[in-house]
Amino acid sequence: MDMTFSQFLDYFALPFIQYAFIVGIIVSLCSSLLGVSLVLKRYSMIGDGLSHVGFGTLAVASALNLTNKSMFISIPVVVLAAFLLLRLNESSKIKGDSAIALISTSALAIGYTMSYTSTNSSSVDVCNFMFGSLLTIKKSEVLPSILLSVVVLVIFVFFYNRIFAVTFDETFAKATGTKSGLYNMLIAFLTAVTIVMGMKIMGTLLISALIIFPALTSMRLCKSFRGVVISSAVISIICCITGIIAGIVFGTPTGSSIVLCNLLLFLVFSIIASCIKRKKAV
């Protein structure tokens, strides 16, 4: 480590570091909650597909010199893509996984072509969109992020029991009068909003890790749905904080540091789970 502790503390006085912490933590929280449902519904790849659509919109926005308003362009487009993916998943004319590949590669291509031909955006922008960067969080984006995440959290808590029922057994829920199509759309909507919020820090290629890892890690050890939800939230926040700090201390990219923290915890939980299993078998 080539910095002293006081130097390290000085970093926390920097506004952009504070913004990164605030946005990072709330995005981690939202994505981990939604991730539990998405992973269990076998929808993990939807998150991945949506992040590519998000990249497309960001790239187009920067090509048109609208970077400051990119969030407001991204959210409606990504929400629309989310609904489209759900519809395609149900219609089964094009199978779900191919539909996602179709939409995400198209969005990538459109985005990259636009930014390549435009004079407004540089390859640095593209790299930031792909892998995320702390420096891209602007003050004007912090408040909307907080508001959006409050909306996501409140809706998630309010519909918790219904989301559980639709996740565990959609057919049963539908048969007993729960509007499961509506709740699927709700989950897709919340996911879209969360992905757009998190894309700047995590980047297109890494945001889906934020959705998948905490849920998978928790599922190694937790035995109840509520346990998995709470543990995912805690794991996600811890990894986010550790990842950003590691980024500051070692100068590593934030997004990938957060993902590596998640990977580490996943491995630790997996080892513990297999030890417990072996102990029981003996």
Partner 1 sequence: MAQVKCENVSLAYDGMKIVSDLNFEVNKGDYLCIVGENGSGKSTLVKTLLGLKTPADGSISFGDGLTQDEIGYRPQQTSAQKDFPASVLEVVLSGCLNKLGKKPFFGKSSKQLAEKNIERLGISNLKKRCYRELSGGQQQRVLLARALCATEKLLLLDEPTAGLDPKVTMDFYALISELNKSGITIIMVSHDINAAVEYSSHILHMSHKPLFFGTTEDYVKSPIGKAFIGGDE
Query: Which one, 33 or 165, has the nearer CB to partner 1?
Result: 165
Closest alpha carbon to 37 in 199, 221, 207, 212: 212
Q: Which of 176, 279, 281, 282: binder of partner 1 (CB under 8 A)? A: 176
Alpha carbons 256 and 133: distance in angstroms, whole number = 10
CB of 281 to partner 1, least distance (A): 13
Q: Which stretch binds partner 1 (CB under 8 A): 54-62, 77-85, 171-179, 265-273?
A: 171-179
Q: Which of 118, 174, 234, 241: binder of partner 1 (CB under 8 A)? A: 174
Query: Which one, 144 or 181, has the nearer CB to partner 1?
Result: 181
The verdict on 222 binding partner 1 (CB under 8 A) reads yes
The verdict on 178 binding partner 1 (CB under 8 A) reads yes
Cβ of 65: how many Cβ atoms within 10 Å?
A: 12
Alpha carbons 248 and 6: distance in angstroms, whole number = 13
The HSE-up count of residue 120 (CA atoms within 13 Å, CB side) is 16
Q: What residues contact 254, with CB distance under 8 A and at least 6 apart?
A: 20, 24, 132, 133, 134, 201, 202, 243, 244, 247
Asked whether the CA dihedral 105, 255, 58, 34 is positive or negative, the reply is positive
Query: Which one, 114 or 165, has the nearer CB to partner 1?
Result: 165
Closest alpha carbon to 201 in 131, 141, 145, 143: 131
Measured distance between the N- and C-terminal CA atoms of the chain, rounded to whole angstroms: 44
The verdict on 177 binding partner 1 (CB under 8 A) reads yes
Q: Which stretch binds partner 1 (CB under 8 A): 3-11, 73-81, 134-142, 217-225?
A: 217-225
Give how far the C-alpha of residue 264 lies from the chain's centroid of Cα atoms, to the nearest Å: 18
Alpha carbons 253 and 129: distance in angstroms, whole number = 13
Closest alpha carbon to 262 in 31, 14, 12: 31
The verdict on 92 binding partner 1 (CB under 8 A) reads no
CB of 223 to partner 1, least distance (A): 4
Q: Which stretch binds partner 1 (CB under 8 A): 10-18, 81-89, 104-112, 214-222?
A: 214-222
Q: Which of 117, 161, 278, 279: binder of partner 1 (CB under 8 A)? A: 161
The verdict on 160 binding partner 1 (CB under 8 A) reads yes
Residues 226-245 that bind partner 1 (CB under 8 A): 226-228
Query: Which one, 87 or 226, has the nearer CB to partner 1?
Result: 226
Q: Which residue ranges make up the site for partner 1 (CB under 8 A)?
A: 40-42, 157-162, 164-165, 168-169, 171-178, 218-219, 222-228
